[in-house]
Amino acid sequence: MKLNNTIRSIISTVFSILLLFACVKLASAIAGGKAKPETVYNKVVQNVYVDTVKNTTINLQIKATGNIQAKRKIELYAEVQGIFLSGMKAFKEGQNYSIGSTLIQLDQSEYQASLVAARSNFFSLLTSAMPDLLLDYPNEAGKWQTYLKGFDINKTAPVLPSMNSEQEKYYISNKGIINTYYTIKNMEERLSKYHILAPFNGVLTEALVSEGALVRAGQKLGEFIDPSVYELELAINESYKDLLKIGNTVKLYNLDKSKSYTGKVVRVNSVIDASTQSIQAYIELLGKDLNEGMYLAAELQGREEKEVYEISRKLLIDNKAIYAVKDSTLILQEVNPIYFTEETAILKGIPDGTLILNKAVPGAHSGMLVKIANK
């Protein structure tokens, strides 16, 4: 009985192990039978529009723009202090003045009184020196007497008589006459600063003070220009500087090309701007309907450039490359821009037959898959 129970227990254990093994094998078979699905990637192909490059010869029209400035322009500054006096004309923008007329008059009465006092002191100094001159230098005394007779303390001090000997010069200098004379001449020069005259026929373009105002030394008073002659500064690519020889004529236009002008190259800067590789040229022009700050465009007849191609500036990458299509893929094609207009660029270095984008593609990059679309 006991033996039967033992055999029954062994059989039950073996059966359980076999059943577990069979379950494991079945689970493995089921797992192996389910294949892992493959990941499918959809390749995005961008439609693009292209042009086929055909290099040609282009006769370049060099264009440049700028604002004209008066060739003769002065900024008015006060060198002395005083009250701004009213004049024959109001000191206002747009006021015309003829050469030699008064632009600015400051109250000089106080300083003028000091100058008259200095002249009076100088006259007394000469008078006190005359007795010794008559005694020690009788041959030279006559010219000094004549100088004294012509001296007027209310007028500009005349030039001192010439001194013919070292002894006479030492005597006059020792009396302080020479030093006092040049002090007076310095004061007379300063007195002229109270009165500013128009150096040429012109117009006041800026007025910063009005009559009755206290003007201080160093204060800017306004700006005065000659409206008959203007200059236009142009920046031209260094490679075309041979077109800017002094004396060459230049055609100029206003914004809407309703008016044209003829200018002349008067100066060319010898220094090239390192950042833009351009050179500055200055065009002189005349015209009654020209105004300070007016915007003008200049057209220079350029030269023929062979084996070049023109594209939109929007298609240039860093001003040195463009996108081309090769084997349905975008590639960067290096180019050599030789001239820029406002909207286009003239390029060298693109082989004939190259397919290039004629319209910018958002997110374009080298290696991008593309498909050429029909126009």
Residue 221 belongs to some domain of the structure: yes
CB-based contacts of 57, cutoff 8 Å, min separation 6: 304, 305, 306, 307, 308
Residue 319 belongs to some domain of the structure: yes
Nearest-10 Cα torsion for 56, 60, 61, 66: 130
CA distances in angstroms from 184 to 167, 176, 258, listed in the order given: 24, 12, 59
Q: What is the mean pLDDT of residues 345-359?
A: 90
The pTM for the full model equals 0.64
For the chain, what percent of residues have pLDDT higher than 90?
Answer: 46
Give me the pLDDT at residue 119, please.
Answer: 95
Domain that holds residue 325: 48-59+306-372
Same-domain status, 184 and 169: yes
Give me the pLDDT at residue 80, please.
Answer: 95
Give me the pLDDT at residue 84, please.
Answer: 94
Give me the pLDDT at residue 157, please.
Answer: 93
| 246 or 203: which leads in pLDDT | 203
2 confidence band (pLDDT: 50, 70, 90): very low
Pair 243, 339: CB distance under 8 Å: no
> How far is the C-alpha of 75 from the C-alpha of 206, rounded, in Å?
9
Same-domain status, 235 and 288: yes
241 confidence band (pLDDT: 50, 70, 90): confident
Domain end position, chosen among 257, 282, 304: 304
Between the ranges 56-65, 142-151, 280-289, where is the mean pLDDT highest?
A: 142-151
Same-domain status, 122 and 251: no
2-6, 16-20, 59-63, 180-184, range with the lowest pLDDT = 2-6
DSSP 31: H
CA distances in angstroms from 278 to 63, 183, 290, 293, 320, listed in the order given: 13, 52, 26, 22, 18
pLDDT for 36 beyond 70: no
Give me the pLDDT at residue 4, please.
Answer: 58
Give me the pLDDT at residue 201, please.
Answer: 94
> How far is the C-alpha of 277 from the C-alpha of 269, rounded, in Å?
13
The strand ranges marked E within 95-175 are 96-97, 102-105
Q: What is the pLDDT of residues 75-95, one digit of tens each?
A: 999 999 999 998 788 899 999
Give me the pLDDT at residue 26, please.
Answer: 67
Same-domain status, 231 and 282: yes
Give me the pLDDT at residue 222, please.
Answer: 95
The separation between the first and the last C-alpha atoms of the chain, rounded to the nearest angstrom, is: 100
Same-domain status, 176 and 215: no
Pair 201, 95: CB distance under 8 Å: no
Beta-bridge partners for 372 = 48
Same-domain status, 93 and 121: no
Give me the pLDDT at residue 237, please.
Answer: 77
Indicate the number of domains in the chain: 4
DSSP 289: T
